[in-house]
Amino acid sequence: MEKREVIYRHSGAVRLTHWVNALVLLVLLMSGLQIFNAHPGLYLGSKSNFNDPVLAMAATQDGDTIKGVTMVLGHSFDTTGVFGVVVDPDGGFEERGFPWSVTLPGHRDLATGRRWHFFFAWAFVLNGLAYLIWSLASGHLRRDLTPSGQELKHIGPSIWEHARLKFPKGEEAKRYNVLQKLTYLFVALVLLPLMLLTGLTMSPGMDAAFPFLLDLLGGRQTARTIHFIAASGIVIFVAVHLVMVLISGVWNNLRSMITGRYVIEPAEEKP
């Protein structure tokens, strides 16, 4: 019977930039929600169209009752206690978008939230550049993250294997599968750069230096909406990533991202 094999899966550069990115993105998300709460609404164009938001969270009065309402593309949802408004046991209420428990700071403080957000945005840029330069120089991007034509033909079976929570073993487990490669490339080359570009577009200083950014993205409010969507996509990616880490072997995955070493379970013998 074939024995388990221990391989060196993640280099020091990958591990370091991974954990820096995890910290940076967490702070960016929480401080970003603090900024969003200052005006919990998203629009298209160059100005805020309060009558036609893409997304809006607000408090509304229904008789003697205060409710939190979230509007998405013209559809309203009662989100009292979660989004829009929180009602105190004594009958008082506070209007806000996202709960303060997921913002940084954990109370209404736009100035501090903006400082945290801008500082860690530059940390994100520097860390991303370091990872990109290393990936290109070492061949990591081409060798480990770019799917081959044969792998792309296998995307259907790969989706089916993931749906059944069937994880690769043996030789197949020594490399990323096609879904992992495509997902990582989409996040690294589409979502993260889009989040960065739209963030720069919302900066008055950057607008003054590069006025074409607003025209390129259709206005400040459109840039803000795209920024929120890209950030939401990253949150979804992280959530799915964490679930897959948990169900595919949390200690093995965690150890590989701390020490680089990953245990390969032997493939099942075919009859």
What structural domains does the chain harbor? Answer: 5-40+103-264 (1.20.950.20), 46-97 (no CATH)
Average pLDDT of the residues in 14-26: 95
Pure H helices in 154-203: 155-163, 178-186, 192-201
Residue 65, beta-bridge partner list: 62
Q: State residue 66's pLDDT score.
A: 84
Share of the chain above pLDDT 90, in %: 56
What's the one-letter identity of residue 155? I
Mean pLDDT of 201-209: 85
| Residue-wise pLDDT tens digits, 50-72 | 889 999 999 888 777 888 999 99
Instruction: Decide if pLDDT at 2 tops 60.
Output: no
- What is the model's pLDDT at position 208? 83
- One DSSP character per residue, 16-84 reads HHHHHHHHHHHHHHHHHHHHHHHS-EE-SSSS--TTS-SEEEEEEEETTEEEEEEEETTEEEE-TTTSE
Can you give the pLDDT at residue 4? 80
Calpha distance 222→120 (Å, rounded): 23
Of the pLDDT bands very low, low, confident and very high (cuts 50, 70, 90), residue 193 is very high
Average the pLDDT over 201-228 and give the result: 89
- Give dist(CA 7, CA 144) in Å, integer: 15
Supply the pLDDT for residue 39: 93
**Sorting pLDDT into bands at 50, 70 and 90, what band is 269?**
low
Amino acid present at 271: P
Q: For 137-155, write each residue's pLDDT tens digit.
A: 999 988 889 999 888 988 8
Q: Which residues contact 130 (CB under 8 A, 6 or more apart)?
A: 13, 17
**pLDDT single digits (tens) 229-240:** 999 999 999 999
Average pLDDT, the chain: 89
Element (H, E) at 93: strand 93-96
Model's pTM, two decimal places? 0.89
Whether pLDDT at 1 is above 60: no
pLDDT for the residue 89:
65
* Measured distance CA(62)–CA(67) in Å, rounded: 7
**Whole-angstrom Cα distance, residue 166 to residue 63?**
53
Per-residue pLDDT, 169? 83
Residue range 108-139, pLDDT digits in tens: 999 999 999 999 999 999 999 999 999 999 99
pLDDT for the residue numbered 90? 67
The two most distant CA atoms of the chain are separated, in Å, by 72
